Amino acid sequence: MLPTFAYIRAQSLDDALKHLAAGGARVHAGGTDLIGCLRDHVFHADKVVSLSAIPGLRGMTAGRNGALRIGALTTVAEVARDATVRERYPGLAQAASDVASPQLRHQGTIGGNLCQRPRCWYFRGEFHCLRKGGTTCYALAGENQYHCILGGARCYIVHPSDTAPALLALGAAVEIAGPRGRRTVPLEDFYVLPSTDVERETVLAQGEVVTHVVVPRPGAGVRSSYRKVRARGSWDFALAGVALALRFDADRVVDGRVVLSGAAPVPWRSREAESAIIGSRLESAVCRRAAAAAMANAVPLKRNGYKIPLFTGLIEEELEKLGRA
């Protein structure tokens, strides 16, 4: 059952920002995550501010320098089926079509997918955990089979988004509007590790809203992909995932990013894997080395040791595949 809250359908961005300034106000985009969190008492809301009536936040337009500017209210399904996205950013199209289930993709938004709260079952359940202002991370000594192997400290969530690693690999940025004006933040700097702040996943301050996602034009020779391993064919988050956006010169990798999902509290850029492949052809030995490098600093918890061989196999397979593409 939902708790009581005030509901406002903002008519403009300024209107929304005015209502969101107060603590206890929450953004409502697609609502697929918000409603569940409210229903499960994960957090509280005095006021729910819907963005759905604000013009200009839904749909895709051409940005500067050939970039693609995606309105935050564009649904995940719209991103997944967009012809430009499929042609220029296959990694993003794949990630968007791997999200949740058809119903959720048609209701959920790209902005919401980037800003969703973690799926840790302690965070979502009746546990007053560290991320909810408590004193304990239950995952550390508990049922941590789906938790992180990289970047954990105090709290051991994994970031649940599929589109975030794909966009991060493609060098995307988010445009943010807030009470103190607008700013653009590269996705790489958007997410916050628990060692920095255990109660937030992003740099968004109270009252700030993601309005657009800007994906730069891919240079010549860029190939991208996303692959997600999960326990069930639909409506499931990643056990392990990898987003690749690599620039090739002939068959040699000259630049690019390797970003993992299901590995860390934020979409995890593996510079170790990147340095193992940049300058090389993606031959199997190189791919194997890169996969091992990505896991070199991984520290499994009691119940998620499988993630090391799983990620190793996955990264190896995806690199080989992109090398052949």
Partner 1 sequence: MTPERDERYWEEGLDIPQTPVPSGDPEPWKQTRIVGTLRPRVDAYERVSGTAVYPSDVVLPQMLYGAILRSPHANAVVKGVDASRAQALPGVRAVISAFTPTDRSIRGHETLLREELFVPQCRFEGEVVAAVAADTPYQAADAIRAIAVEYDVLPFLADERRALDSDAPLVHETGNRVSAPGRYSRGDVEGGFAEADVVLEREYRTEAEIHTPMELHGCVARWDGDALTLWESTQGVFSVQAQVASALDMPLSKVRVVGHYMGGGFGSKLQPGKYTLIAALLAKQTARPVKLFLTREETYLAVGNRPPNNMRLKAGVKRDGTLTALDFYATGTGGAYRAGGTGALDWLIRDLYACTNVRIETQDLYINAGPARPFRAPGHPQCAWALEQLLDELSDAIGMDPVELRLKNVPSVSQGRGNAPYTTTGLAACLEEGAKAFGWREARTALLRQPDDAAVRRGVGMAAGLWVAGGGGPPSTAIVKLFADGSVNLNMGASDIGTGTKTVMAMVVAEELGVDPDAIQIEHADTGTTPYATGSGGSKTVPTESPAVRAAALDVKRQVLDIAAEEMEVAADTLTMRDGKVVSTADPTVERPIAELRGLRARGTVTGVGYRGPNPEGKAVNPFAAQFCEVEVNRRTGEVRILRFLGAHDSGRVMNRLTYQNQVFGGITMGIGLAMTEERVLDVDQTGKMVNINWHDYKIPTALDVPAEMTCLPIDRPDDEANTTGAKGIGEPATIPTAPAIANAITHAIGVRVTDTPATPARVAQLLADARKGG
| Beta carbons of 47 and 5 less than 8 angstroms apart | yes
Place of tokens 């061989």: 309
- Residues 74-108, buried b or exposed e (16+ Cβ, 10 A)? bbbbbbbebeebbebbbbbbbbbbbbbeeebbebb
Beta carbon of residue 55, minimum distance to partner 1 (angstroms, whole number): 33
User: How far, in Å, CA of 94 to CA of 225, rounded?
Assistant: 7
Return the number of the residue (43 or 121) whose C-beta is nearest partner 1. 121
Beta carbon of residue 173, minimum distance to partner 1 (angstroms, whole number): 30
Backbone angles phi, psi at 242, to 5 degrees: -145, 130
Judged by DSSP in three states, 307 sits in helix
Return the number of the residue (173 or 238) whose C-beta is nearest partner 1. 238
Return the number of the residue (127 or 248) whose C-beta is nearest partner 1. 127
- Tokens representing residue 147 in the block: 């938790």
Beta carbon of residue 86, minimum distance to partner 1 (angstroms, whole number): 21
Return the number of the residue (138 or 226) whose C-beta is nearest partner 1. 138
Beta carbon of residue 38, minimum distance to partner 1 (angstroms, whole number): 13
Beta carbon of residue 146, minimum distance to partner 1 (angstroms, whole number): 8
Q: Which amino acid is at 56?
A: G
- Beta carbons within 8 Å of 204's beta carbon, 6+ residues apart: 115, 176, 178, 210
Return the number of the residue (18 or 124) whose C-beta is nearest partner 1. 124
Contacts to partner 1 by CB under 8 A: 1, 101, 119, 121-122, 124-127, 138, 141-143, 145, 229-236, 239-240, 304-310, 312-314, 316-317
Place of tokens 């051991």: 156
